[in-house]
Amino acid sequence: GKGGHAHYMHKEIFEQPAVVGATLHSMINPATRRIDLGRYGFDAAGLETVTILACGTSFHAGMVAKYWLESIAGLPVHCEIASEFRYRRPPLGRGALVIAISQSGETADTLAAMRYAKSRGARTVAVVNVAESTIAREADAVLPTLAGAEIGVASTKAFTTQLVVLACLAIAFGRARGELDCKAERALVAALADTPDLITEALAGDAHAGGVAALLAGARDVLYLGRGTAYPLALEGALKLKEVSYVHAEGYAAGEMKHGPIALVDKEVPIVMIAPPDELFEKTASNMYEVMARGGQAILISDREQTDRFANGVAASIAMPEAPAISTPILYSVPMQLLAYHAGTRRGTEVDQPRNLAKSVTVE
């Protein structure tokens, strides 16, 4: 059942502290407080490049992972939409690791792209939520997300648990490649370990997010902007809103705004700024000033200090708990989900079963 929630999507959003915690604990050795992927038959020896293959929301998790694998493990990463990759016949050597990310483990394009990679001699690892799936069976190794069954068609807890697995993978590779010493690894693991509690804090903003969602539910178009790992979150926030509320939304890298999308800005277009208080914040804030100077309705998602600072200029804001950099993409997924959910319910859509969508896309 829905456990007292009006929809599975809402229930699954609220399961995230538990399933993120469970997934994290499956990757951490409790004695050493370090990442332990040994039991998954996994070995980073001889690794030169990583290619990530996925579709939809799982592709957005892969885009976040690209930032982590580059910055934590020093690995060159390609992140590719599986339906494009599979027809390009790209070269892959033996030093290539292919990571296929799929909640269902049955997505036709992701499976075909992984099979192609295998046929070229690449090693494959699957990040899947359904352990008995085709992608899990055919991959050389499997890193399971422990989200439990996801019933809502729009992916929520599967996404955040994918992020957890991918963060752990980046840490494990960082260590294997000598990019992280023991102390740095333990600091990252300790930071990740706080994520479930931070998600619980973010979920306390559910009712507030429901109010902010009124701005989106009444819009014709919505823009989502972010920089760094907040860029894939902008794409994910826009996808989620489209799916469950049928409001047209686009995600952009904040720095791309002046290269086109700024032409859309007027007082009718809400602009969701995903701006965690990191070293990129001031750059994103200057994009927000440009939006506000043109009468745009900025919705700022940042920490309390920044939402207070901009309280007078923005149309609305969501104050997030302070969080270490590595858990930020996981944590900031929560307001993306809540905004989409509440915009959908306000518009009376079938949020658990949006029109035209299927949970498992087994045809290309």
CB nearer to ligand F6R: give 11 or 34. Answer: 11
Question: Which range in 90-98, 99-107, 198-206, 332-340 contacts ligand F6R by CB under 6 A?
Answer: 99-107
Helices (H), ranges, 178-266: 182-193, 195-203, 206-217, 230-245
Helices (H), ranges, 55-138: 56-73, 82-88, 108-119, 134-138
What is the footprint of ligand F6R within residues 220-279 (CB under 6 A)?
A: 239, 243
Question: Which range in 28-36, 67-75, 97-105, 208-216 contacts ligand F6R by CB under 6 A?
Answer: 97-105
Half-sphere CA count of 95, side-chain side, radius 13 A: 7
| List 104, 195, 245, 307, residue binding ligand F6R (CB under 6 A) | 104
Instruction: Reduce the DSSP state of residue 329 to 3 states and report it.
Output: helix
Question: Which range in 53-61, 72-80, 250-258, 341-349 contacts ligand F6R by CB under 6 A?
Answer: 53-61
| Residue facing ligand F6R at closest CB distance | 56
Half-sphere CA count of 189, side-chain side, radius 13 A: 26
* Least separation in angstroms between CB 122 and ligand F6R: 19
- Tokens 């902007």, residue located: 225
CB nearer to ligand F6R: give 59 or 231. Answer: 59
- Write the CA distances from 25 to 5, 22, 329, integer angstroms: 27, 5, 19
According to DSSP, the residues that pair with 317 across neighbouring strands are 300
Cα–Cα dist 120/88, whole Å: 13
Tell me: does residue 345 bind ligand F6R (CB under 6 A): no
What is the footprint of ligand F6R within residues 135-154 (CB under 6 A)?
A: 154
Active-site residue, 66 included: no
Cα–Cα dist 12/5, whole Å: 9
Question: Which range in 37-45, 56-64, 176-184, 213-221 contacts ligand F6R by CB under 6 A?
Answer: 56-64
Instruction: Reduce the DSSP state of residue 327 to 3 states and report it.
Output: helix
| List 26, 134, 145, 155, residue binding ligand F6R (CB under 6 A) | 155
CB nearer to ligand F6R: give 264 or 361. Answer: 361
Cα–Cα dist 214/80, whole Å: 34
Residue 239 · residue 228 · CB < 8 Å: no
Tell me: does residue 107 bind ligand F6R (CB under 6 A): yes
> x-or-dash pattern for ligand F6R, window 275-314, by CB under 6 A?
----------------------------------------
Tell me: does residue 110 bind ligand F6R (CB under 6 A): yes
Q: What would the two tokens of residue 185 be?
A: 């690894």
Active-site residue identified among 183, 258, 267, 359:
359
CA angle, residues 147, 319, 146, in degrees to nearest 5: 5
**Which positions touch ligand F6R (CB under 6 A)?**
55-58, 102-104, 107, 110, 154-155, 239, 243, 361
Active site residues: 359
